[in-house]
Amino acid sequence: MTDITLLLAQARTGDAQAWERAVGLVYEDLKRIARGLLGGHGSATFNPTVLVHDCYLRLARGGADGIVDRMHFLALAARAMRQLMLNHARDRVALKRGGGASHVDADAHADAIAEEARGLIELDSALMRLEAEDPRCVRVVECRIFAGMTEQETADALDLPLRTSQRLWLEARQRLADLLDET
CB environment 124-162: b (16+ within 10 A), e (fewer): bebbeebeeeeebbbbbbbbbbbbbbeeebbbbbbebee
Residue 103, classified by CB atoms within 10 Å of its CB into exposed (0-12), middle (13-18) or buried (19+), is exposed
Is the pLDDT higher at 40 or at 88? 88
pLDDT confidence bin for 113, thresholds 50/70/90: low
CA atoms of 71 and 30, how far apart (whole Å): 11
What does the pLDDT average to over 161-170?
A: 97
Is residue 112 pLDDT above 80, yes or no?
no
pLDDT score of 175: 95
Could you list the residue range(s) of the whole structural domain that residue 121 is in?
Answer: 3-182
pLDDT in tens, 32-79: 888 877 776 666 567 888 889 999 888 888 878 888 888 889 888 888
Average pLDDT, the chain: 83
Average pLDDT over residues 151-157: 91
Give residue-wise pLDDT tens across range 123-139.
Answer: 888 999 999 999 999 99
pLDDT of residue 84: 87
Give the lowest-confidence range in 58-62, 112-116, 168-172: 112-116
In the chain, the number of structural domains is: 1
On the question of pLDDT at 102 being above 60, the answer is: no
